[in-house]
Each structure stands twice: as structure tokens, then as C-alpha cells.
Chains A and B, each alone.
Chain A
Amino acid sequence: MLNSYSAELFKFIKRPAVWVLGALWLALLLAFTELFPYIAYRSAASARQAGRLLAPLLPGQLPGHVITGYPVWGGALILVLGALCWGSEYGWGTLKTMLSHRPGRLTFYVAQVSTLATSIAALVIVAFALCSLASVVIAGSGGAPLDLPPASAIAQAMAAGWLILMMWSLLGVCLAIVFRGMALPIGLGLVWILAIENLIRFTAPLIDALGQVEKVMPGADAGSLVAALGAATSSSTGVAAVVGGEQALWSVALYTGLFAAVGAVTLLRRDVQ
């Protein structure tokens, strides 16, 4: 198993598309969570408004603030990463090569998912490091206090962020295995996150039944988890307390397990052409 994990990590690190996607993800994160809010704060019309805009950018608000983008756009890009990893195995025909060599199907699957989990953990850590640095700089420039949040709060936010991204990446993996390719899974995944989840979010207040559906939607539950960690709620980021924090955590964990299981079972049962 360790051999396969090391092989998959080697393959992952060597793949240019992974670095491009990771860099894009970090750049968007910094832009949407630090740069644009900072520009808005600097352009504030009044001191009161400036104070309101500066507050979430300060180090004390870091845990919830950094993961604000994870439920929607952050998750969408990570879904692409998951679909890219598995979809290209079908596209290039390399799945056939790998499975006719050494690793068994389950070993290969677990090694790839572990690699994805490792890289997402690294991405979350780098994201926190960059956003911490940005918030310290912003606080310094605005003359605001440098009160750091407790380490446990940072750890909780990182773990929640990692879990949310794992859920979306495994949806990408699962769709790629089910549809044996890359394009359709990416298209369907993005439609789900960016369109379906949003449509339900906006229509749920109007129809009771949709309100109940919203409570069990993966994106809405991810948004609830982020909201439970102190992030500002907003319809544009998908962060809203639709369900309680504990329920949201269980739901996101359940979806993560479900997507992983569906991917594994499909791979184990199907013929590889």
C-alpha cells in the first residue's frame, strides 16, 4: 500500500495540471477572501463602514474567514481536480495499464484517494498560511490589534475546510469513475455546485418542500459547517446556517464517505476496457 501511495504521489507531483489548478485555487482564494475585501475596506465611504469591512480581515476572525469560499467556488475547482485525476486514467487508457500491472483495484483506488487527501491537506495548510500573512499585514496597515485566534479554532477550521474539499473532490472522483471520463463529470459537477445548489438555495424560502431538500444538500451543509465556525453568512458564498454545526459536520462526513464508497464499488465491479 505504501509503495502504491508513493507511486501515486510521485505521479501527482509531476503533473503540471495539478500545479496550475492549485495555483489558480490559491490565487482565487487570496483574491476573494483578502484582496477584494481589502480594496472594499480601503474604498469605504465612512469610518463605520470601514470598521465593518475590516473586522473579518483581522487575524482574530481568520478560522471562519479563510474557509468562506470552500463550499461553492473553492469546492468547484477541487471537484475539477478529483475528476481530472480519475477521468484522465480512463482518457489515456492508463487505468488498464495500472490494473494489469501490480496494484489490485482497491489498493490503486485507496492510493489515489490518499494522494488527493494529502494534496488537499497541503493546499489547506498553504491557504491558511497565506491568509494569515495577509491578515497580519492588513491589521498592521490598518493599525488594528494583532489578536491571534486560539490554535484549536484554527485546527477546527482547517479540518472542516479539508473535509469540505474532500467531499467535493470525491464527488469528482466518483463521477469520473461512473462516467469513465473527464468532461461529463466536470460539467455535471459544476452544474450541481454552481447552478442546482444555488437555485434550491434561492427558491427554498418560497417552497417548504425545497427548504427540507436544502437541508440535506451537500453544498448547503458545507455552507452551514463554515457558518458554524464563525464565517459571515452570505448568499453569494453559499455560507448560511441552514442546519446546525453538528448536523452539518455529520452530513458532510457522510457525503464524503458515500462518494468514496460509490467510486470504490463501481471500480471494483466494472470491467475495464
Chain B
Amino acid sequence: MATLPASAQRAALRTTGLTKRYGNRTVVDGVSISVSRGEVYGFLGPNGAGKTTTLRMVVGLVKPSAGTAEVLGRRPGDPQGLARIGAMVESPALYPYLSGHDNLAVLARHAGVERARIGAVLEQVGLADRAGDRFDRYSLGMKQRLGVAAALLKDPELLILDEPTNGLDPLGIADMRALIRRLGDEGKAVLLSSHNLAEVQQICDGVGVIFNGKLVAQSTVQELRGGVAIVVLATPLERAESQLVELLGREKVSVIDDQIRLEVGLDRAASLNRQLMLAGIDVHELRREERSLEEVFIAMSADHLNRPGGSHAQ
């Protein structure tokens, strides 16, 4: 597991060894994460990995069996802390007989928020035109937007969003991602739980990966994806490999499926190409390779499932 980022000093959210057990079953096992102000943190994991239970503990809905969480300097569920948090945990659940506007009015009254904020957040999520419709007549995407509007109502310092783009149309997804990124850029801390790896790669700064309740990786998105590599397709393969090992060292060269993968920066591409050609090796292709978060996640899943105690092993 990666160490906590240095920016944890100004963490808006910090959990230490957060654990939840139901009987003999450990749903969340010693999760320690840190989300800084101005950071959009992606919380990744397969279904049932413990993401939502962790979020529930962070907002005070569920009491941890062990470990601690500090949310904006307060314990989870503390009304003073909740006043500065916006959260949408799981699907948005609001009163079906009230309109979108009235649902926000209930939350605004509870929070002591000015009524003017209601219009502002409805505008922000693109729901101003349908604010008078009953919540139970909203489509899934509209409900999702209203849930995000509810989370934004208090102009929170920490935003906790569970799958916020679920059910949105492509334009809505793009708007929502832009909104979340903008909130991060404005200095708010955002904890985003998502299955959508492309989304996390696109908008998150930091990322934590959870499997079977355990945090198996925590890093920046860039670090997790690893550095840029160069892939070479050349013949004869053996000669090309030995030439490159001579130039770069064994640890930087690997052969996978007739392709040579070089763990070096792109600035070395031209000189390597030249040296291979001078050695009489035909270079058919030389390209940059960067792993997507999806590839990293799938590799981690496979690794985790094959490990003793992983889901396959069980």
C-alpha cells in the first residue's frame, strides 16, 4: 500500500485504520485514506468492496468497529462538521411527494442555508427548469442531479459523492465531471466513489483502491498508472533485445508477445531508433505506451483474486 501523500497535513478528511465488522464478517478492514483541500480523490473498488460502508462511516451513518475518522477536524456525524460537508451516499433519496425545489427547501431549512442558494444550485446542476416537478416524477438522471444539488447546497468544504454520474446522459456526464473538477480547482476537497475508471482518470488527482474491504493502493492517479514506456517492434527480435539490454540494462527491458517494452522516457526514442538501425536491426514500430487506470485496476483485480484470501481463493 502506498504511503499517505505529504499534503495530508492539510487534510479535509483523514481516516486511520477504519474498520467495520458485522458479526464475523469484516466489511471494511483498516482503511486509512486522506483527502486534501483542492484534491479530487477517487475511491475505486469492485461491487461489495466496502466503498459505500466507508463513506457511511465518514458521514456518521455507521459507527466504525475500530479506527477513527476526522472530517474537517471533527468526528463523523458531528452537526458542526456536517454543516461543512455535502454528501450523496448511494442513490439520491429524497421525499417523493415534494418537488425538487421543496426537497432542497427542507434541507436548506435544516442547515440554516439561505433560500437563494436553492436557485443557485439548481442552476448549477441544470435542473432549474424542472424544479417545480415532484421528485417521484424525475428520471434517474434528474434525481442524480438533484442529489448533487443537495450536496452542493451548503457550499461545502468537503464533498462526498457516490457514483454521481449514474444515469446521466453523455452531455450530463461531461457537465458533472467538469463541475466536480471545477470544485476541486476552487479548493474544495472531493471524495468521489466511482466504478467508472475513465472518469476517475479524467478528473481525480488522488486515488485509493479497495478490495474486500482492504485499501490495496493509494497514490496519485499518475503514479498509479506508472511512468511512460516505449514499445518497440523490431526484427530480428533476439538481436534487438540483446542490443537494447546492452544499451539500457536488463531491468529496463522486457519482451511481451513479440514486443519489446522499454521503461524509459520518450526523450530516448530517437537515439534508440538510430542505434538499432546502425546495428542492422529493422525497426517496424516505435511508440509511446501509457497504461490506463482501467488496465492498472484490472491487473490489480487479477492479482488480488489470485492471492490467498482473494475472492477466487474463497
Contact = CB atoms under 8 A, between A and B. Distances in A.
Contacts of A108: 110
Nearest to A4: B110
Interface residues of B, number: 35
B110 A98 contact: yes
B127 interface: no
A183 B264 CA distance: 65
A7 interface: yes
Contacts, number: 95
Given A102-B112, A103-B79, A271 B61 contact: yes
Interface in A163-198: none
Contacts of B96: 92
Given A100-B61, A102-B154, A104-B79, A7 B87 contact: no
A211 B82 CA distance: 51
A100 B98 contact: no
A52 interface: no
Interface in A57-112: 92-94, 96-105, 107-108
A102 B102 CA distance: 16
A100 B60 contact: yes
Interface string B103-115: 0011111111000
A102 to B, nearest CB: 4
A48 interface: no
Interface in B144-183: 150, 153-154
Contacts of A104: 77-79, 82
B63 A94 contact: no
B107 A101 contact: yes
A86 to B, nearest CB: 14
A92 B95 contact: yes
Interface in B267-289: none
A272 B60 CA distance: 9
A96 B109 contact: no
B150 A101 contact: yes
A4 B154 CA distance: 15
Contacts of B79: 102-104, 107
A15 interface: yes
A93 B143 CA distance: 14
Given A101-B150, A104-B77, A7 B82 contact: no
B82 A101 contact: yes
Contacts of A100: 59-61, 82, 85, 87, 89
Contacts of B56: 271-273
A271 B63 contact: yes
A96 B112 contact: no
A14 B108 CA distance: 16
A11 interface: yes
Interface string B37-77: 00000000000000000001001111100000000000001
Nearest to B92: A97
A14 B97 contact: yes
Main secondary structure of the interface of B (DSSP, over half): loop
Interface residues on chain A, size class:
20 to 34
Given A102-B79, A102-B82, A272-B61, A4 B109 contact: yes
B93 A92 contact: yes
A3 B109 CA distance: 5
B62 to A, nearest CB: 4
A99 B109 contact: no
B111 A102 contact: yes
B228 interface: no
Given A3-B112, A7-B106, A272-B62, A15 B97 contact: yes
A10 interface: yes
A165 to B, nearest CB: 24
A16 interface: yes
A3 B96 CA distance: 22
B95 A11 contact: yes
Contacts of A272: 56, 61-62
A101 B103 CA distance: 13
Given A101-B82, A271-B61, A272-B61, A96 B93 contact: yes
A151 B212 CA distance: 68
Contacts of B78: 104
A96 B61 contact: yes
B162 to A, nearest CB: 10
B245 interface: no
Nearest to B20: A271
Interface string A1-38: 00110110011001111000000000000000000000
B94 interface: yes
15 contacts: A3-B111, A3-B112, A14-B97, A93-B91, A94-B94, A97-B150, A99-B59, A99-B61, A99-B77, A101-B107, A103-B82, A103-B110, A104-B78, A104-B82, A271-B62
Given A11-B106, A100-B61, 5 more contacts: A6-B109, A7-B106, A7-B108, A98-B110, A99-B59
| 5 A-B pairs with the lowest CB-CB distances in the bound complex, closest first | A93-B93, A7-B109, A102-B111, A104-B79, A100-B59
